[in-house]
Amino acid sequence: MRWSRTVISTLREDPQEAEIASHKLMLRAGLLKKLSGGLYTFTPLGVRALHKVEEIIREEMDAAGAQEILMPALQPIELWEKSGRASRMGASMFRLKDRQGRAMVLGPTHEEVVTDYICKEISSYRQLPCTIYQIQTKFRDEIRPRFGLMRAKEFIMKDAYSFDVSFEAADASYKAMYDAYERIFKRCGLLARPVEADTGAIGGNHSHEFMVPAPSGEDGILECQKCGYAANQERAERKPAPSKFAEEFSGGPEEVPTPGAHTVAEAAESVGVPEEQIVKSLIYMADGNPVMAIVEGTRELNECKLRRILGCSELVMADDVQSAEAAGPVGSIGPLGVRIPVYADIGLRGAKDMVVGANREGFHIKHVNVDSLSEITAWEDIVTVEPDDLCPRCGSPMRVVRGIEVGHVFKLGTKYTDAFNAKFLDSEKNSRVMVMGCYGIGVTRTLQAVVEQNFDKDGIIWPVSVAPYSVVVLPLDAEKDPACAAAAERIVKDLESAGIDVIVDDRDERPGVKFKDADLIGFPVRVVVGTRSLGKGGVEVRMRRTGESVTVPPESAAQRVSEMLSRMREDF
RNA sequence: CGGAGCGUAGCGCAGUCUGGUAGCGCAUCUGCUUUGGGAGCAGAGUGUCGUGGGUUCGAAUCCCGCCGCUCCGACCA
């Protein structure tokens, strides 16, 4: 490809709209153009890189036995009402009506459509297991799109779905996808690690996210360096440390005035104890019913965990009126004497001398033995795990790192196949419900994650596998020096006939401009053909990542480039 | 939805406080010179100053409404 015939425009300066490195670089290198918030055009250069990611995904999906299909992005709302997700996905779905007035949505994901398709298609155990996938544009009305492709209103996703005869068989399908994901991200030049994750609105009982470590990542990951445990902060568990207040106070509970104390800090000060000795009591409305959650005063309740334990679809903090009806005035709430379910965090286990709200404005109760409260419905792990909390497996302190979620695999069980009555006949002629799994990769996000993990001060450093072009040839003196033009011509031809994708920068620009652009866009290999290099016996072949370069005769340049490329591929 | 900031040429910005009819750098076009790390000189083009209204002899500038963008938070497969 000739540079002069493509639409490539690079920027000298960082665009004002971009915050993180990968977003700045993708705009500066001319891979993306913004149409509006969360909506981007892929330029000819950008779409080449995108297609390379897609091809890697296709190859690995096919190798794992999945079949590619393509489903409509535009979907009738009825499917979503059938699964019960019309309200659960709620505001994040783009909704519209056709001219007949039928309610439609732009698909944010495809569990409903695929289950509808498969339940009509499959009727026998002989047709199972079956895994299908598609690469398609998804639409989500994100509250706050940000960081370019990282969180966009419209993005490309690879979504796969497995259908099996049993939970055991579904585990095997899950494992096959999990393994394929590890290969996909590795081939993209990404360091991505699986972590245990919350299943959120997709549902199901077990999932792993594939996380790319990056300071700009939107998720927190708790990890144990000793045993390898890793989990999203939304889901991470911990082994609670023994309570510091394990000694029971012989005098029994005692109500104390705490005028004006509404926060944990104020209550602690008023009573004269550390904040950890306060029990934080929170009222939530779970599908409309009040529940109380109690945690140590310094901890934060984790709504994802509580929602999962309660098994409810909607969980919101109660307002002041609801709280007062369920227990007492906000700021003085406590578990003593309440008649609603109380969920206690396991961190309070063994805590026998604590301070709780008195359910009376301006009063707290001290010396409360939380460990033996009869009001407690269940002991659960319901707080957000913090750095230095102990690993639930081995008990070592954990740390938090930031990560970008590029993939997510779910064991769905029968959530959707039940809703759609997706049954098959087994060998005993029994009608049984299929067991499902679903598996997503954010393709456009993955592309940006590759950039986020591969750049230096001069620009992007593409892994060979996803570079828009593997090689850039820079003829520096082609106008004046026929030998230079001829050498460049020959190298490009040789590379093309070797099946290597190459772009030649034939613009009438000074050398400095060509060097800067080549570095910024980040082609893995650069071949410089100039009068000076020819004088030294050839052309300069240089690797973007290491800066390592050699001068070789033009006739062996293609061979040398080819060797370098395979070496770089192996390095990943 | 709450908080903050921004909207002036393709991109990055100044001008706004203190009202007088729009400027700088890069990019673009022409010519000459230059040619291994974002060249120099000379010339040229480029704007509903986000938008609607108001105040005023006069508004990019002051006032009010709206829209858009970015960040933080809430929220979110």
Determine the average pLDDT of the residues in A117-143: 95
Determine the average pLDDT of the residues in A5-29: 90
* Å: A510 CA to B35 C1': 6
Range of weakest confidence among A79-83, A91-95, A490-494, A528-532 = A91-95
Q: So what's the pLDDT on residue A313?
A: 72
Q: So what's the pLDDT on residue A294?
A: 94
H helices of A433-553, in order, are: 443-453, 482-497, 511-521, 531-535
d(CA A419, CA A112): 9
Instruction: Check residues 458 to 497 of chain A and report those whose beta carbon is under 7 Å from nucleic acid strand B.
Output: 458, 476-477, 479
The residues, any chain, with a CB within 8 Å of residue A36's CB and separated by 6 or more, are: none
Return the HEC string of A240-261.
CCCCCCCCCCCCCCEEEECCCC
Which of the four pLDDT bands, split at 50, 70 and 90, describes residue A59?
very high
Determine the average pLDDT of the residues in A450-456: 94
Phi-psi region of A486 (alpha: psi -120 to 50; beta: other; left: phi over 0): alpha
* Å: A510 CA to B37 C1': 10
pLDDT higher than threshold 90 for residue A323:
no
pLDDT higher than threshold 80 for residue A458:
yes
d(CA A130, CA A435): 11
Which of the four pLDDT bands, split at 50, 70 and 90, describes residue A143?
confident
* Å: A17 CA to B12 C1': 11
Minimum CA–C1' distance nucleotide for A20: B71
Q: Which residues pair with A106 in a beta bridge?
A: A74, A94
Q: So what's the pLDDT on residue A137?
A: 94
* Å: A481 CA to B30 C1': 25
The residues, any chain, with a CB within 8 Å of residue A211's CB and separated by 6 or more, are: A192, A193, A194, A195, A217, A219, A221, A230, A232, A403, A404, A405, A406
Q: So what's the pLDDT on residue A570?
A: 85
Mean pLDDT for chain A overall: 92
Determine the average pLDDT of the residues in A51-56: 97
- Amino acid letter, residue A440: G
* Å: A233 CA to B6 C1': 34
Q: How do beta strands A376-380 and A342-345 pair? A: parallel
Per-residue model confidence as pLDDT tens digits over A63-78: 999 999 999 999 999 9
Q: So what's the pLDDT on residue A397?
A: 94
Q: So what's the pLDDT on residue A317?
A: 84
* Å: A143 CA to B2 C1': 13
Q: So what's the pLDDT on residue A262?
A: 82
- Measuring CA to CA, how many Å separate A540 from each of A483, A517, A554? 15, 17, 9
Q: So what's the pLDDT on residue A315?
A: 82
d(CA A439, CA A208): 10
CB A298 within 8 A of CB A342: no
Per-residue model confidence as pLDDT tens digits over A349-368: 999 999 999 999 889 999 99
| Percent over 70 (pLDDT), chain A | 99
Q: So what's the pLDDT on residue A142?
A: 87
The residues, any chain, with a CB within 8 Å of residue A372's CB and separated by 6 or more, are: A352
Round the CA-based radius of gyration of chain A to a whole number and report it. Answer: 29
H helices of A215-374, in order, are: 264-271, 303-310, 320-326
pLDDT higher than threshold 80 for residue A81:
yes
Determine the average pLDDT of the residues in A242-269: 89
Compute φ and ψ for A457, nearest 5 degrees. Answer: -65, -20
Nucleotides of B under 7 A from a protein CB: 1, 6, 11-13, 25-26, 34-39, 68-77
Per-residue model confidence as pLDDT tens digits over A159-204: 999 999 999 999 999 999 999 999 999 999 999 999 998 877 777 7
d(CA A467, CA A506): 20
Structure tokens at A205: 């009982």
Determine the average pLDDT of the residues in A85-94: 80
| Percent over 90 (pLDDT), chain A | 72
DSSP code string of A18-77 = --SHHHHHHHHTTSEEEEETTEEEEPHHHHHHHHHHHHHHHHHHHHTT-EE----SEEET
- CA-wise closest residue to A282 among A239, A338, A240: A338
Compute φ and ψ for A303, nearest 5 degrees. Answer: -65, -35
Per-residue model confidence as pLDDT tens digits over A483-538: 999 999 999 999 999 999 999 999 999 999 999 999 999 999 999 999 999 998 89
Which of the four pLDDT bands, split at 50, 70 and 90, describes residue A304?
confident
d(CA A326, CA A411): 36
- What count of Cα atoms within 13 Å lies in the side-chain half-sphere of residue A240? 20
Q: So what's the pLDDT on residue A522?
A: 97
Dihedral of the CA atoms A290, A293, A298, A303 (nearest 10)?
A: -80
Instruction: Tell if the pTM clears 0.80, that is, is over it.
Output: yes
Q: So what's the pLDDT on residue A469?
A: 97
d(CA A193, CA A191): 7
Give the residue with greater pLDDT, A16 vs A398. Answer: A398
First to last CA, chain A: 27
The residues, any chain, with a CB within 8 Å of residue A244's CB and separated by 6 or more, are: A276, A277
Q: Is the CB of A199 under 7 A from strand B?
A: yes
Which of the four pLDDT bands, split at 50, 70 and 90, describes residue A312?
confident
Classify residue A538 by its DSSP letter: S
> Cis omega before residue A482 (within 30°)?
no
Instruction: Check residues 400 to 439 of chain A and report those whose beta carbon is under 7 Å from nucleic acid strand B.
Output: 408
Which of the four pLDDT bands, split at 50, 70 and 90, describes residue A146?
confident
Q: So what's the pLDDT on residue A338?
A: 92
For residue A471, with 0-12 CB atoms within 10 Å meaning exposed, 13-18 middle and 19 or more buried, which class applies? buried
Range of weakest confidence among A52-61, A198-207, A282-291, A403-412 = A198-207
CB A440 within 8 A of CB A158: yes
Q: Is the CB of A140 under 7 A from strand B?
A: yes
